[in-house]
Amino acid sequence: MAELRPSGAPGPAAPPAPGPAAPPAFASLFPPGLHAIYGECRRLYPDQPNPLQVTAIVKYWLGGPDPLDYVSMYRNVGSPSANIPEHWHYISFGLSDLYGDNRVHEFTGTDGPSGFGFELTFRLKRETGESAPPTWPAELMQGLARYVFQSENTFCSGDHVSWHSPLDNSESRIQHMLLTEDPQLQPVQTPFGVVTFLQIVGVCTEELHSAQQWNGQGILELLRTVPIAGGPWLITDMRRGETIFEIDPHLQERVDKGIETDGSNLSGVSAKCAWDDLSRPPEDDEDSRSICIGTQPRRLSGKDTEQIRETLRRGLEINSKPVLPPINPQRQNGLTHDRTPSRKDSLESESSTAIIPHELIRTRQLESVHLKFNQESGALIPLCLRGRLLHGRHFTYKSITGDMAITFVSTGVEGAFATEEHPYAAHGPWLQILLTEEFVEKMLEDLEDLTSPEEFKLPKEYSWPEKKLKVSILPDVVFDSPLH
């Protein structure tokens, strides 16, 4: 629950961030992390020292439901000469470390990211006659923040969010999101680390699918070239009724060429999925079916979870040979990391942090497996095969309803525990499946109807007996049951 009020933020002449000698009341009202972000806002909006603000009544660290303490809302005049319309600019406070006292985020030093390392922003086109900013974007940002806090997955520029509903709960075609760097807000060095600003960009379903099949950055660049679809600052217009491909049909040709040339840089998704080991009877204590059947499923260890996240980050690295992070215990630069580094950090480094399991888990080779996906996840299998594996890459499904994961790998990926000799291998509840190019082509032929999922009824089953592989597309309710 939140309330709308003026922020009461310090104006341009406000005193510096509170230090040891600061009055206790001031230190309480304006903790250093908050004050540092306010400083960047004041630089951009010196004439709006006290913007309207949506405030969490009960703070997250006091048991409230909203992770963001505040969302400030500014009026931006845009730049008519540059085709940038007037709009509302929303800025979050809470994904970064505002307080530095471990009440929300663990303080890890000033050199790394503050909290999750970023705050969210959103630019919404101002409607004619609109005197105050709509508040629904604040709840949208809270929803994204809840995902980050609950999953501990961070966002980076080029990421996409499948929302499947108009962002403002209207009849709008803008039902999904891409993320990019905010065009005006600069990274901030706070006493608790660095904060960057990631802007939410509303997109249509067709634009989301193109971002999945190709890459988010490519679609963002196309959106920048179409003023009505975002323009240079990627301003969301909830009244936009046409996709960029309907506005300019030539843009589809650019996407198709990009997919053919580059493949997809979508390395994985959170999904409703599960897998069964058909090689063993279900009563076997070592059966991997315990990950999705029974009341006490086997869980991924913390380090296995980090390794899967690292797998996703590796897949985003451009122009590098696909490599899965190692399972064998290693140390890099003499350090181990308890917390997964941000995806942006891994993109900027030459090598990602080695993953060190809490325990050595025996890798098992499986003879026969059964993969299960809901309709939305299943529709991404052709993308996984054509856009990733045929380009020598890998793709991971991480379950959102159970503690397990499925990674498809091609023969060109290094570091996989699945091999051509043993193409199905499990490390605890993490399954890897190695597919040869010949088998990928065969699967693409057989799975062609997945590109038009509305044309078939669930459940749907595909089987390759000679490969001892079965894939089922099942209703959502199957994965929502306690047995999964």
For the record, the structure tokens of 384 come out as 């996984």
| Triad 423, 300, 313: Cα angle to 5° | 70
The single-letter code of the amino acid at 229 is: A
Regarding whether 274 and 214 lie in a shared domain, the answer is no
Regarding whether 246 and 375 lie in a shared domain, the answer is no
pLDDT of residue 286: 45
Count of structural domains, the chain: 2
pLDDT of residue 313: 55
Regarding whether 258 and 212 lie in a shared domain, the answer is yes
For the record, the structure tokens of 11 come out as 């104006």
292 in a structural domain: no
Regarding whether 458 and 371 lie in a shared domain, the answer is yes
- Gyration radius (Cα) of the chain, Å: 24
Strand 469-474 and strand 369-374: pairing?
parallel
Q: Which of 214, 229, 262 is the last residue of a domain?
A: 262
Question: Which residues are paired to 56 by β-bridges?
Answer: 2
Helical residues (DSSP H) of 73-191, grouped into ranges: 136-151
CA distance 89 to 285: 55
Regarding whether 61 and 103 lie in a shared domain, the answer is yes
CB within 8 Å of 25: residues ≥ 6 apart: none
CA distance 279 to 298: 18
230 in a structural domain: yes
**Which CATH number is 388's domain given?**
3.30.1360.230
- DSSP assignment, residue 126? P
pLDDT of residue 457: 86
204 in a structural domain: yes
Peptide bond into 113 cis (omega under 30): no
Torsion of CA 133, 137, 142, 148, to 10 degrees: -130
Regarding whether 174 and 67 lie in a shared domain, the answer is yes
- DSSP assignment, residue 342? P
Query: What 3-state DSSP class applies to 140?
Result: helix
Domain extent, residue 65, equals 32-262
CA atoms within 13 A on the CB side of 327: 17
Question: Which residues are paired to 93 by β-bridges?
Answer: 70
CA distance 407 to 398: 8
pLDDT in tens, the chain (484 residues): 577 766 654 433 333 433 333 444 444 568 999 999 999 999 999 999 999 999 999 999 999 999 999 999 999 999 999 989 999 999 999 999 999 999 999 998 999 999 999 999 999 999 999 999 999 999 999 999 999 999 888 999 999 999 999 999 999 999 999 999 999 999 999 999 999 999 999 999 999 999 999 999 999 999 999 999 999 999 999 999 999 999 999 999 999 999 999 999 889 898 999 999 998 765 444 443 333 323 334 566 666 677 676 665 544 343 345 666 544 333 222 222 222 333 332 222 222 233 333 344 688 999 999 999 999 999 999 999 999 999 999 999 999 877 899 999 999 898 899 999 999 999 989 999 999 999 999 999 999 998 876 667 899 999 999 999 999 999 998 887 655 5
Regarding whether 271 and 182 lie in a shared domain, the answer is no
187 in a structural domain: yes
Regarding whether 473 and 372 lie in a shared domain, the answer is yes
Matching residue, tokens 């894939």: 471
Q: Which of 203, 228, 262 is the last residue of a domain?
A: 262
- Going from the C-alpha of 40 to that of each of 10, 89, 335, the distances in angstroms are 12, 13, 33
Peptide bond into 382 cis (omega under 30): no
Regarding whether 219 and 90 lie in a shared domain, the answer is yes
What share of residues in the chain are helix, strand, coil (percent, to 5)? Answer: 30, 25, 45
pLDDT of residue 67: 97
Regarding whether 184 and 51 lie in a shared domain, the answer is yes
471 in a structural domain: yes
DSSP string, 357-420: -SS---EEE-S-EEEEEEHHHHTTHHIIIIIIGGGT-EEEEEESSSS-EEEEE-TT-BT-S--S
Is residue 467 within 8 A of residue 420, CB to CB? The reply is: no
Query: Using one digit for the tens of pLDDT, what is the confidence trace for 393-440?
Result: 999 999 987 789 999 999 989 889 999 999 999 998 999 999 999 999
pLDDT of residue 323: 62
CA distance 7 to 37: 13
Regarding whether 201 and 276 lie in a shared domain, the answer is no
Query: What 3-state DSSP class applies to 44?
Result: helix
Is residue 482 within 8 A of residue 401, CB to CB? The reply is: no
The single-letter code of the amino acid at 12 is: P
pLDDT of residue 327: 41
Strand 268-271 and strand 394-399: pairing?
parallel
408 in a structural domain: yes
CB within 8 Å of 481: residues ≥ 6 apart: none
Regarding whether 402 and 447 lie in a shared domain, the answer is yes
